[in-house]
Amino acid sequence: MTRPVVIAGASLAGLRAAQALRNSGHEGPVVVVGEEEHLPYTRPPLSKELLAGEQEPEQCALPSGRVPDIEWRLGTAATGLDTGARELILADGERLAYDKLVIATGARPRHWPGDPIALDGVHTLRSVDDALALRAAFESGPRLVVVGAGFIGCEVAATARGRGLDVTLIDVAPHPVPALGEAVGARVAELHRSRGVDLRLHTSVDGFEGDGRLEAVRLADGTRLDADVAVVALGAIPNTDWLVESGLELQPGVVCDATLAARDAEHVFAAGDAAAWPHPMADGGVIRIEHWTNAAEQGAAAARNLLAAPADRTPYEAVPYFWTDQYDLKVQSVGLPARAERTTVLEQDGERLVLGGERGGRLIAAIAFNAPRRLPFYRGQLATMPPMEDVAAAVRADAKALGA
Amino acid sequence: MTKVHVDMNLCQSHGECTYVAPEIFELGDDDVLRWKEEVDPSLREKAQEAADVCPMLAIRVED
């Protein structure tokens, strides 16, 4: 019997891997294993349109039906990997033999440290089921505390304000969206405050209180914030624990070479949130990216490389892109903003602006506020990561720059 | 000809399509997407690539 190509993970990266296999002419069997019961769906609306009640789960479905002849094994988690026998071990004990494997198991929310919180009203947000539960909890107009002011925390806060809830947004960091640096964070902080969010920075949460149901969030300084619903938004951790005994190096993503082939096993590739690979913009260092576009593009790239002979594989070098929508602000980023040492405004026209992130005096990221059409210019710049003075000169020479 | 549909109720001007298929898509100075609704079949693959990178799943390609 022909061993199938097996894709562990039935979300965006897994779907795009399956799609790329078929588009590349692969005719052999393809099996996609997914822990959730759902066919692949897109997650960005979960903290925004779906949570706001503007979209329903059907509208989040990814077009999986368009990919022909895929065996979907849903509701089945991968629990182990035997790279010698080339078998994926499933939660029900089955050993699924593979010819090639794509690991695309994504990430999950980082939970509150310590024992699980056994209180109704405390949520995390990752899956469509999480989003529907939180949406239902919003119905009664609760007092909401969001712990963690990263992308998900800020988006949830913005959506909740849109629904008229009282929102307290807390982070231990000095500004929200810490990954984008202080200059961006200060603007996002101002935005949330102007929309009525009680934003508490430099603030540690000590615990959650209640008797069966959440009643208050306790801060490290002893303050008790009365709350009906809390969202714990402390970032994500890749779903790679099931690989701990596989012999694959985990950092904590599966460590791959530049072509997304796992470094420590043949026939194994990785894509999306669960993959770590060397990127030229990180001086060849291994990075991991938890954004939509990376999952989509890496899923396809891993599948194409899986079909190719090793010498014909293509390094995955795309300039990372992500966005966040909060109120009427769209923030878009190209490059690696988390590696920037400093972020400054490069062009501006009123509320619309572009900030540049620099590292070692060179451009490593651009972050646009409500200025989508400026991104291609910066993608072009980032291809060579020029010195900041050259970027500034190119902006001055560009008739389409904001405020030009 | 290959038909390219964009649901403008979904489009949020991410501009990813303009990057992978500039022959078909562009963002105007008003940040609103403009595109060719019919393209030569030789551009079909590029159009589909644009559909695949659209974060809003707003693009549909038909033969």
Q: Which residues of B touch A400 (CB under 8 A)?
A: 29
Q: Which residues of B touch A300 (CB under 8 A)?
A: 52
Cβ-nearest to B16 among A44, A321, A325? A321
Q: Which residues of B touch A19 (CB under 8 A)?
A: 52
How would you classify the pairing of strands A143-147 and A166-170?
A: parallel
pLDDT at B10: 92
Residue A276 vs residue A63, higher pLDDT: A276
Angle between helices A12-23 and A292-307 (to 10 degrees): 40
Residues 14-53 of B with CB under 8 A from A: 14-16, 18-19, 27-29, 31, 52-53
Q: Which residues of A touch B14 (CB under 8 A)?
A: 323, 332, 372
Pairs across A and B, CB distance < 8 A: 43
State the average pLDDT over residues A212-228. 97
pLDDT band at A369; cut points 50, 70, 90: very high
Alpha helices in A199-243 (DSSP H): none
- The ranges assigned to domains in chain B are 2-62
CA angle, A130 then A159 then A295, to 5°: 55
pLDDT reading at A66 higher than 90: no
Cβ-nearest to A376 among B18, B53, B57? B18
Could you tell me which chain A residue has the CA closest to the CA of B30?
A373
- For chain A, the maximum distance between any two Cα atoms, rounded to a whole number of angstroms, is 65
pLDDT tens digit sequence for A380-394: 999 999 999 999 999
Helices and strands: H and E segment counts in chain B: 2, 5
From CA A127, how far away is CA A133, in angstroms rounded?
Answer: 10
On the question of a common fold for A5-108+237-312 and A122-234, the answer reads yes
Taking an 8 Å cut-off on Cβ atoms, the answer to whether A379 and B19 are in contact is yes
Cβ-nearest to B52 among A16, A373, A379? A16
From CA B21, how far away is CA A116, in angstroms rounded?
Answer: 47
Q: Where does residue B18 fall: left (phi above 0), alpha (psi -120 to 50 degrees), or beta otherwise? A: alpha
Q: Which residues of B touch A370 (CB under 8 A)?
A: 31
pLDDT at B29: 86
Distance from CA of B3 to the nearest CA of A (A): 17
Report how far apart, in Å, the C-alpha atoms of B43 and of each of A353, B25, B50, B60, B61 are. 34, 12, 11, 14, 11
In single-letter form, the type of residue at position A396 comes to R
Q: Which residues of A touch B32 (CB under 8 A)?
A: none
In chain A, what percentage of residues exceed pLDDT 90? 96
DSSP for A73-104, please give it: EET--EEEEETTTTEEEETTS-EEE-SEEEE-
Structure tokens at A84: 């010698």
Partners of A6 in the β-ladder = A31, A101
Taking an 8 Å cut-off on Cβ atoms, the answer to whether A321 and B31 are in contact is no
Flag residues of chain B having pLDDT under 70: none
Three-state DSSP state, B58: coil
Q: Is residue B24 within 8 Å of B39, Cβ to Cβ?
A: yes
Residue A244 vs residue A65, higher pLDDT: A244
List the strands of the sheet with A362-369, edge to edge: A321-326, A329-335, A362-369, A352-359, A342-349
Neighbouring C-beta atoms of residue A314, cutoff 10 Å:
12
Taking an 8 Å cut-off on Cβ atoms, the answer to whether B52 and A321 are in contact is no
Partners of B25 in the β-ladder = B35
Q: Is residue A330 within 8 Å of A135, Cβ to Cβ?
A: no
Tokens 């020029």 sit on residue: A386
Question: DSSP secondary-structure letter at A261?
Answer: B
Beta strands in A104-252 (DSSP E): 107-109, 122-123, 143-147, 166-170, 198-200, 205-210, 214-219, 224-226, 229-232, 236-238
pLDDT band at A116; cut points 50, 70, 90: confident
pLDDT at A149: 98
State the average pLDDT over residues A79-89. 98
pLDDT band at A115; cut points 50, 70, 90: confident
Whether A155 and chain B come into contact, CB under 8 Å, resolves to: no
Taking an 8 Å cut-off on Cβ atoms, the answer to whether B15 and A297 are in contact is no
Whether B2 and chain A come into contact, CB under 8 Å, resolves to: no
What is the CATH code for A328-396?
Answer: 3.30.390.30
Yes or no: domain A5-108+237-312 corresponds to CATH 3.50.50.60: yes
pLDDT at A114: 84
From CA A96, how far away is CA A88, in angstroms rounded?
Answer: 5
Report how far apart, in Å, the C-alpha atoms of A404 and of each of A332, A353, A373, A376, B28 are. 21, 12, 14, 17, 16
State the average pLDDT over residues A100-112. 97
- The ranges assigned to domains in chain A are 5-108+237-312, 122-234, 328-396
Mean pLDDT of chain A: 97
Q: Domain B2-62 class?
A: alpha beta
Taking an 8 Å cut-off on Cβ atoms, the answer to whether B12 and A330 are in contact is yes
Could you tell me which chain A residue has the CA closest to the CA of B21?
A376
In which element (H, E) is residue A155 found?
helix A151-162
Distance from CA of B62 to the nearest CA of A (A): 12
In single-letter form, the type of residue at position A347 comes to E
pLDDT reading at A354 higher than 90: yes
Q: Is residue A333 within 8 Å of A377, Cβ to Cβ?
A: no
Q: Which residues of A touch B53 (CB under 8 A)?
A: 293, 296-297
pLDDT reading at A404 higher than 90: no
Report how far apart, in Å, the C-alpha atoms of A244 and of each of A9, A100, A198, A262 are. 17, 19, 41, 14
Overall size of chain B counted in residues: 63
Q: Which residues of A touch B18 (CB under 8 A)?
A: 376
pLDDT at B63: 86
Distance from CA of A345 to the nearest CA of B (A): 20
Q: What is the ipTM of this complex?
A: 0.91
pLDDT band at A305; cut points 50, 70, 90: very high
**Percentages of chain A per state (helix, strand, coil), in multiples of 5:** 30, 30, 40
Q: Which residues of A touch B19 (CB under 8 A)?
A: 375-376, 379
State the average pLDDT over residues A344-357. 96
Structure tokens at A176: 């929200």
Whether B7 and chain A come into contact, CB under 8 Å, resolves to: no
Homologous superfamily of the A122-234 domain (CATH): FAD/NAD(P)-binding domain (3.50.50.60)
From CA A373, how far away is CA A330, in angstroms rounded?
Answer: 12
- A325 CB contacts (<8 Å, ≥6 apart)? A48, A155, A158, A331, B12
Could you tell me the pTM of the whole model? 0.96
pLDDT reading at A221 higher than 80: yes
- A384 CB contacts (<8 Å, ≥6 apart)? none
Q: Is residue A374 within 8 Å of A356, Cβ to Cβ?
A: no
pLDDT band at A65; cut points 50, 70, 90: confident
From CA A113, how far away is CA A205, in angstroms rounded?
Answer: 11
Please state the separation of Cα A124 from the chain's center in Å.
14
Distance from CA of B19 to the nearest CA of A (A): 7
pLDDT band at A137; cut points 50, 70, 90: very high
